[in-house]
Amino acid sequence: MPTRGRWALALVVVAAFAAAAAGGFSVPAARAADILPAEVYFSQTGHNLGGDFLSAWQANGGLMIFGYPISEPFTENGRTVQYFERARFELHPENAGTRYVVEATLLGDWASQAERSTTPFQPLPATTSTDSSCTFYSQTGHRLCNGFQTYWEQNGGLWVFGYPISEEFQEKNPDTGQTYTVQYFERARFEYHPENAGTQYQVLLGRLGAAYATSQGVKTAAAPQDPSAIAAFQGLLDPAWSHAIRTGDGSIVGVITADSLNIRSAPSLSAPVVDTAYARHPIMVQGVVQGDAVDGVPVWYEVGQGRYLAAAWVQPFVPATPPRTYSGHWVDVNLSQFYAVAYDGNQPVYAAIITAGGSNGATPTGVFQVFSRVRNETMDSATVGIPKGAPGYYYLTNVQFTQYFKDGGYALHQNWWTPPGDFGSYSTHGCVGLLLPDAQWFWNFLSYGSTVSIHS
């Protein structure tokens, strides 16, 4: 079994089919987050998936891109390999510690060998142009257009599928016998299904891994579940985990889906409750362990030392795309979703739920810079023109980690007077309120001159 890996370990293609391997493209590495279980067992196909192969599978699209494992890891042509419905992974221990530790075979090239002399595979003239609906790739001499282009861009692009090696054309699906519009890529075959228009299944990927396994006589019979393997559950299979925020300390950001969820000292319903998390609150997932079943899922997430949450009520946190990005450390404040997302350049690195000013625009929108920081202060509205006794007057002591970004008293700061369960709504006079741990995190992350972008 491949050694246990990290989400940062990514796929790279090899310019070979089963035997020879050469360099290739790599998926941009994600921040390290070693939260995966050692192994996962998929009852759907009866196979275990673990270590670096599991890390690469999950970090680069998981079930939607590669399908289920259809073999156990085994040695083939001197390499440890594992087959999936739509891919074949190779382990390259000589590249341990790099993004090239797992490589994937160019199955699109393999599957199209018999058709390479046909018209759809002939390169177009080098003068072919790119327009609003099609992009021409001179590397292979082919275009990528319309719905296939959208799917390619939204699901990993070049790094996951490779360049197009054909134009679109009509081809019979070998499994169903139906004829569809298809296009081949270096390591994939796209198939357009108009009957699924408007859904995530409008474009389906060919089962090239299964076809290649058959051609090589690979044994795909079900294997027993390894004692250390966790049974796969829907939350783990969510492809959005590969797009969730990864923090600098090796966590992946999830979000609570229950109204409230107990944090316990052990992954057991009988363990003492040490804290409570609330709906829509981001949570830093540090590990995955087995525990008492909750809603049929016997898996818990470790969210700190001696702190565990039932995995059935946590999903990946994928931030909304900000209007624009900025250099250095900055924060994007989304007033319609009530989240503050920290960025290092264009890379999101942290997320917090917030409170904000009333829906009448009390919290200003625009692009600001931090100009004053106060570690602990008393906030008196009289200093900003709201005297004692007037509507809206406030006097708040022991407000921590305040960072002012606009004259008139507008700041990011700790909000201790709003119950945690009420965060994610309007409850301030115009500032961006944060829970204490989040306020402290942003205090350490931002500095004088840091950009604060606020929008609805």
Centroid of chain to Cα 387: 48
Helix boundaries (H) for 294-447: 436-445
Distance CA(127)–CA(223), nearest Å, equals: 53
Per-residue confidence (pLDDT) for residue 35, from 0 to 100? 57
Proportion of the chain above pLDDT 70, given as a percent: 91
Q: Name, in order, each residue with C-beta under 8 angstroms of 288's C-beta and a sequence gap of 6 or more.
A: 35, 36, 37, 230, 236, 299, 300, 301, 302, 311
The answer to whether residues 365 and 383 touch, using CB atoms and an 8 Å cutoff, is: no
Per-residue confidence (pLDDT) for residue 10, from 0 to 100? 34
Centroid of chain to Cα 129: 33
Per-residue confidence (pLDDT) for residue 313, from 0 to 100? 95
Stretch 146-155: mean pLDDT:
92
Distance CA(130)–CA(128), nearest Å, equals: 7
Per-residue confidence (pLDDT) for residue 422, from 0 to 100? 95
Distance CA(9)–CA(3), nearest Å, equals: 12
Proportion of the chain above pLDDT 90, given as a percent: 68
Compute the CA torsion angle 253, 254, 259, 261 (nearest 10 deg).
Answer: -90
- What confidence tens digit (pLDDT) does each residue in 188-238 have? 999 999 999 888 889 999 999 999 999 999 999 999 999 888 888 877 777
The answer to whether residues 299 and 290 touch, using CB atoms and an 8 Å cutoff, is: yes
Per-residue confidence (pLDDT) for residue 25, from 0 to 100? 31
Tokens of 374: 């106060």
- Other Cβ atoms closer than 10 A to 81: 22
Per-residue confidence (pLDDT) for residue 359, from 0 to 100? 65
The answer to whether residues 105 and 123 touch, using CB atoms and an 8 Å cutoff, is: no
Stretch 24-30: mean pLDDT:
35
Torsion sign, CA atoms 34, 37, 38, 39: negative
- What confidence tens digit (pLDDT) does each residue in 396-442 have? 899 999 999 999 889 999 999 999 999 999 887 789 999 999 999 99
Q: How would you classify the pairing of strands 314-316 and 366-369?
A: unpaired
Based on the number of CB atoms within 10 Å of its own CB, is 36 exposed (0-12), middle (13-18) or buried (19 or more)?
Answer: buried
Indicate the average pLDDT of the chain: 88
Per-residue confidence (pLDDT) for residue 11, from 0 to 100? 38
Lowest mean pLDDT among 130-134, 156-160, 165-169, 316-320: 156-160
Stretch 140-156: mean pLDDT:
93
318 band by pLDDT with thresholds 50, 70 and 90: very high
Stretch 96-119: mean pLDDT:
91
> In the chain, what are the domains?
113-206 (no CATH), 244-316 (2.30.30.40), 329-455 (2.40.440.10)
- What confidence tens digit (pLDDT) does each residue in 248-304 have? 887 899 999 999 999 999 999 999 999 999 999 999 999 888 899 999 888 899 999
36 band by pLDDT with thresholds 50, 70 and 90: low
Where residue 67 falls (left for φ over 0; alpha for ψ -120 to 50; beta otherwise) is left
Per-residue confidence (pLDDT) for residue 360, from 0 to 100? 67
Q: When comparing pLDDT for 109 and 20, which is higher?
A: 109
Q: What is the pTM of this model?
A: 0.73
